[in-house]
């Protein structure tokens, strides 16, 4: 306690010096018009502001000294300038921002655990922002991810560039981060998308390719970093409601209910600042009747955030989240002729889950060139399923603890070194996986070296000791190298190499119970799987109107863990095994264009993947070879119109055993996924209240398709949402 | 004009490939068919209902038709709102995924003609005939229901004076 008091005194001692302030104005270079909503940040501190309707800002309470101030806004080139702050004086600054092609000045934080311009990042990253999530009315995180180039979903599981197939809900080759902290279920190793309410997401960054050199286990296929909305700089209250209706099935014989099937939800949030303290609270409720029998859902999310700035150079952010969900469990259809009803014995299967977490992030700037970040999270998961005839729910519970301390040091003008130590501990209980305790410890470091004005090199490595109590203890070493060469203004070439690994989840190693039609067979000899990834890419600005990015990639996998199916009488037993050596290679193209001051935006992404099972000399299961996404949106003053189109080719291979034995009747009835969504939006301001109304028609052409065998996806769905901010 | 042109192009790109409905029902049932031959009909008050029942596993003392049906491990023909004719010499039947209750692509090890002999719809059931491995035998023979195929010759002989043993209590 004494130590804490001393620490607080140390960090607040700066306040004793008489402070100065910076006031200023931000303008558009070409028109001299004021620019509202631009971000102003004093680099190396937590101080910042957003410009008002007149393009003006003020940052107070600044210790005397010379600072570098950064000015940025999407669609404009970032500008930095030196500002002298004198004791008890206000310094005035005026800057003009030059318009920039779309995306080039987008800032990301996941590639190197620090803020970087998207163009300077040596790996492929896609960013999905809150506006896109809101306009599409994506009610869950996994739904939002279906629009990211190179990403496709196989039911609830994410696949980035062919890294993952379908593993029956156990383990993931993609790591999910919540505000930079690993957020993955300790027992099943799966990503809990529903625990993060879509309405509280600021943006999602998707890193494609092995990232274990920074993030450790699970990051061998990529990383999804979900960044929640910060505490607003001005008081804000948010209310949103949506209601929707599923269309009737295409064929009368699929009709299973005389009632209309609805979905609706409500959410509300507030964000306030009180001096150096700020907090926000968010609540959402979702009710879905389901378009299939026994596919209903009731979901409640609560999210709280508090931030305290102790001094201009240190701050603490606390997050807490809570989820309660009760849903039916639709595992697979009865047959294609009865595509929207489950087999009789699964008609009452249901799932109940309660999950909550608390996380903290403490940032302190020790000197002009050193930032220390401390992160910690505790999460609790309790979930279980109940099948017909079960007297009790079969449950699993887990408590996960994660902590990380990292330092970022700028050494001269040529080196930015990031190093850290992190650890995790998962305590698991319940009938499903029995009592287990697993954990790990890791050390990592990377150096971003500016070799010249045009060339930067990143070298990094991470040692992981995983995992006590789970299979055998293993030491992993994962290096990475990346280089960016800025050929000309707006054109950069990149190349990267990285290794990744994944420790098998408790579910894969120890599952002894069954879920639905699956019964697990433990395999305590499972070893971690490994990958080596290579990528080369080029990014180029097109006609001052946008950007094009082309990348070629290859990943080699060893000891790939795949579920092995064992058919025993009428039941399916599954055992995860290190069975496959694989190579996944391909290329990806992403184009984004903005015309007429970005009132017309067009984007497309195409990914070709060749997923090769080198052990069986065959194609890997559940990996589509072609992904094509395109999007167009037009804004005419307060009215906006948009559309999305997705094409995902039919996967070459699935688990034929499930089909041949009749466990999933007609399971091989699959087709290419061709889905078109449309939206119409109105954005008006009435008496200081911003009102956004959006009408979405999803799967507008009522395409009947499956992502996962025996699982028909939603028919045409109409959604109307109303959102108010004040 | 320029706005409109670009908008039409963008819309075309979105709309063009979306003209197919995708998956459609197959309407090719799976199941089995055969003849049920009857001998020695009893009095009408002891033949209240007749059903063909297929069990995934041989029913034990504790599991009769209704519990197995509820557990999804038995299938019944015809559907509940229809009935098999009584007091006839024989009937031809076709038990499929379309016209039965809960028939799936599984291996059924015990297929019987079940007779409701009393007023209790839950308990008053007994096997009157069984699909047997050999003629004049009560040893049950299995039938595997294959995708989009109707397995023929699943014949059942019923002698109400000589019914097979009732496996459940």
Q: Residue for token digits 């998308």? A: A193
| Domain A107-215 top-level CATH class | mainly beta
Average pLDDT over residues B133-139: 86
Domain ranges (residues) in chain A: 19-97, 107-215, 222-725
Element (H, E) at A695: strand A689-698
Q: Taking CB atoms and an 8 Å cut-off, how many pairs form between chains A and B?
A: 116
pLDDT of B61 above 70: no
Q: Who wins on pLDDT, A104 or A67? A: A67
Residues of A in contact with B98 (CB under 8 A): 337
From the list B6, B23, B102, the residue facing A600 with the nearest CB is B6
pLDDT of A10 above 50: no
- Dist. CA A567–CA A572, nearest whole Å: 5
Let me know if the fold of A19-97 is the same as that of A107-215. no
> Is B63 part of the contact surface with chain A (CB cutoff 8 Å)?
no
- Dist. CA A588–CA A611, nearest whole Å: 14
- Single out the residue of A98, A14, A24 nearest to residue A54, CA to CA: A24
In 10 A of CB A671, how many CB atoms? 16
Of chain B residues 122-141, which have a CB less than 8 A from chain A?
none
Average pLDDT over residues A268-286: 92
Taking the CA of residue A673 and the nearest CA in chain B, the distance in Å comes to: 8
**Strand, coil or helix: what is A584?**
strand
Beta strands (DSSP E) in A467-545 are: 474-488, 491-502, 514-515, 518-520, 529-542
CA distances from A341 to A157, A209, A244, B94, B167 (A): 22, 38, 21, 23, 32
Given this model, what pLDDT does residue A377 score? 95
In 10 A of CB A476, how many CB atoms? 21
pLDDT of A568 above 70: no
Q: Who wins on pLDDT, A148 or A6? A: A148
- In percent, the amount of chain A with pLDDT more than 70 equals 93
Report whether A628 contacts A605 (CB < 8 A): yes
pLDDT of B66 above 90: no
Q: Which of A553-562, B8-17, B46-55 has the lowest mean pLDDT?
A: B8-17
CA distances from A379 to A228, A351, A376 (A): 17, 19, 10
Given this model, what pLDDT does residue A3 score? 42
Q: What is the CA radius of gyration of chain A?
A: 26
| Domain A19-97 is found in CATH 1.10.760.10 | no
Taking the CA of residue B13 and the nearest CA in chain A, the distance in Å comes to: 8
Given this model, what pLDDT does residue A110 score? 75
Is A600's CB within 8 Å of B15's CB?
A: no
Q: Which of A191-200, A509-518, B32-41 has the lowest mean pLDDT?
A: A509-518
Tell me which fold the domain A222-725 belongs to: Maltoporin; Chain A (2.40.170)
Taking the CA of residue B46 and the nearest CA in chain A, the distance in Å comes to: 30
Given this model, what pLDDT does residue A16 score? 46
pLDDT of A473 above 80: no
- Dist. CA A630–CA A680, nearest whole Å: 17
What confidence category does residue A48 fall into, taking pLDDT thresholds of 50, 70 and 90? confident
pLDDT of A512 above 70: no
What confidence category does residue B108 fall into, taking pLDDT thresholds of 50, 70 and 90? very high
> Is B99 part of the contact surface with chain A (CB cutoff 8 Å)?
no
- Across-strand partners of A575? A564
The gap between the terminal CA atoms of chain A, to the nearest Å, is 41
Element (H, E) at A132: helix A130-135
In this structure, what token pair is assigned to residue A229? Answer: 């909305």
The DSSP line for A208-257 is ES--HHHH-TTTTSEEEEEEEPPPPSS-EEEEEEEEEEEPPPSSGGG---
Residues of A in contact with B72 (CB under 8 A): 343-346, 388
Burial of residue B87, with CB atoms counted within 10 A of its CB: 0-12 exposed, 13-18 middle, 19 or more buried: exposed
Given this model, what pLDDT does residue A100 score? 65
What confidence category does residue A341 fall into, taking pLDDT thresholds of 50, 70 and 90? very high
The predicted complex's ipTM stands at: 0.77
The gap between the terminal CA atoms of chain B, to the nearest Å, is 82
Domain ranges (residues) in chain B: 44-159
Residues of B in contact with A636 (CB under 8 A): 3
**Strand, coil or helix: what is A296?**
coil
């Amino acid at each position: 306690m004494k130590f804490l008091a001393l620490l607080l005194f140390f960090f607040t001692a700066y306040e004793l010096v008489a402070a100065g302030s910076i006031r200023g104005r931000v303008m558009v270079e070409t028109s001299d018009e004021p620019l509202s909503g631009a971000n102003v940040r004093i680099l190396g501190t937590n101080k910042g502001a957003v410009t008002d309707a007149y393009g003006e800002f003020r940052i107070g309470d600044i210790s005397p000294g010379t600072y570098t101030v950064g000015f940025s806004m999407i669609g404009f080139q970032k500008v930095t300038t030196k500002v002298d702050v004198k004791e008890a004086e206000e310094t005035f600054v005026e800057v003009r921002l030059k318009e920039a092609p779309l995306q080039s000045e987008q800032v990301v934080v996941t590639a190197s655990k620090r803020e970087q311009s998207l163009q300077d990042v040596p790996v492929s990253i896609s960013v999905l922002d809150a506006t896109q999530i809101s306009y599409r009315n994506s009610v869950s995180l996994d739904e939002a991810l279906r629009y990211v180039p190179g990403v496709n979903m196989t039911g609830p599981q994410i696949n980035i560039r062919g890294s993952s197939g379908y593993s029956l809900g156990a383990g993931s080759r993609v790591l999910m981060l919540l505000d930079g902290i690993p957020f993955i279920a300790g027992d099943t190793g799966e990503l809990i998308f529903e625990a993060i309410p879509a309405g509280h997401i600021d943006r999602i960054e998707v890193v494609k390719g092995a990232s274990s050199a920074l993030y450790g286990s699970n990051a061998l296929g990529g990383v999804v970093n979900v960044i929640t909305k910060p505490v607003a700089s001005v008081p804000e209250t948010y209310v949103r409601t949506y209601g929707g209706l599923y269309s009737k099935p295409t064929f009368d014989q699929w009709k299973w209910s005389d009632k209309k099937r609805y979905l609706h939800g409500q959410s509300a949030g507030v964000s306030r600042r009180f001096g150096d303290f700020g907090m926000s609270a968010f609540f959402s409720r979702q009710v879905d009747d389901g378009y299939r029998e026994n596919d209903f859902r009731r979901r409640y999310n609560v999210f709280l955030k508090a931030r305290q700035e102790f001094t201009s150079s240190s701050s603490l952010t606390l997050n807490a989240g809570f989820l309660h969900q009760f849903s039916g469990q639709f595992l697979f259809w009865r047959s294609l002729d009865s595509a929207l009803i489950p087999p009789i014995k699964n008609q009452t299967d249901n799932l109940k889950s309660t999950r909550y977490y608390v996380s903290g992030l403490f940032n302190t700037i020790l000197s002009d060139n050193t930032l220390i970040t401390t992160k910690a999270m505790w999460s609790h998961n309790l979930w279980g399923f109940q099948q017909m005839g079960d007297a009790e729910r079969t449950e699993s519970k887990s408590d996960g603890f994660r902590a990380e301390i990292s330092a970022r040091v700028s050494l001269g003008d040529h080196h930015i070194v990031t190093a850290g130590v992190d650890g995790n501990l998962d305590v698991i209980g319940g009938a499903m996986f029995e009592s287990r305790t697993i954990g790990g410890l890791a050390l990592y470091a990377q150096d971003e070296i500016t070799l010249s004005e045009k060339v930067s090199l990143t070298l990094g490595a991470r040692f992981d000791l995983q995992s006590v109590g789970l299979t055998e203890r293993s030491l992993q070493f994962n290096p990475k190298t990346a280089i960016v060469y800025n050929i000309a203004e707006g054109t950069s070439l990149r190349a990267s190499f990285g290794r990744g690994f994944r420790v098998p989840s408790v579910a894969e190693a120890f599952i002894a119970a069954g879920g639905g039609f699956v019964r697990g067979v433990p395999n305590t000899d499972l070893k971690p799987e490994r990958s080596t990834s290579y990528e080369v890419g080029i990014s180029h600005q097109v006609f001052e109107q946008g950007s094009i990015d082309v990348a070629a990639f290859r990943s080699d996998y060893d000891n790939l863990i795949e579920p092995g199916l064992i058919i025993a009488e009428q039941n399916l037993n599954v055992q995860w095994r290190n069975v496959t050596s694989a190579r996944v290679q391909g290329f990806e193209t992403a184009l984004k264009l903005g015309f007429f001051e970005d009132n017309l935006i067009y984007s497309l992404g195409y990914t070709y993947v060749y997923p090769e099972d080198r052990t069986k000399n065959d194609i890997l299961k559940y990996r589509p070879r072609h992904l094509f996404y395109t999007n167009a949106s037009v804004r005419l003053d307060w009215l906006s119109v948009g559309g999305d189109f997705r094409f995902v080719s039919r996967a070459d291979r699935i688990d034929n055993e499930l089909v041949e034995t009749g466990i999933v009747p007609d399971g091989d009835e699959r087709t290419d996924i061709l889905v078109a969504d449309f939206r119409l939006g109105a954005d008006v301001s009435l008496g200081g209240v911003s009102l956004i109304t959006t009408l979405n028609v999803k799967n507008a052409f009522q395409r009947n398709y499956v992502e996962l065998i025996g699982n028909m996806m939603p028919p045409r769905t109409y959604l109307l949402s109303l959102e108010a901010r004040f | 004009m320029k706005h409109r042109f670009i908008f039409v192009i963008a819309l075309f790109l979105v709309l063009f490939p979306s003209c197919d409905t995708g998956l459609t029902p197959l309407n090719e049932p799976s199941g089995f068919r055969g003849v049920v031959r009857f001998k020695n009909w009893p009095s009408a008050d002891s033949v209240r209902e007749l059903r063909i029942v297929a069990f995934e596993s041989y029913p034990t003392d504790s599991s009769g038709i209704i519990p197995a049906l509820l557990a999804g491990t038995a299938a019944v023909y015809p559907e509940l709102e229809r009935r098999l004719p009584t007091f006839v010499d024989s009937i031809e039947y076709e038990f499929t995924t379309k016209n039965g209750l809960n028939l799936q692509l599984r291996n059924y090890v015990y297929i019987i003609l079940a007779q409701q002999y009393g007023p209790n719809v839950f308990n008053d059931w007994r096997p009157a005939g069984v699909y047997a491995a050999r003629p004049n035998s009560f040893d049950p023979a299995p039938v595997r229901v294959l995708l989009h195929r109707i397995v023929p010759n699943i014949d059942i002989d019923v002698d109400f004076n000589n019914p097979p043993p009732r496996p459940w209590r």
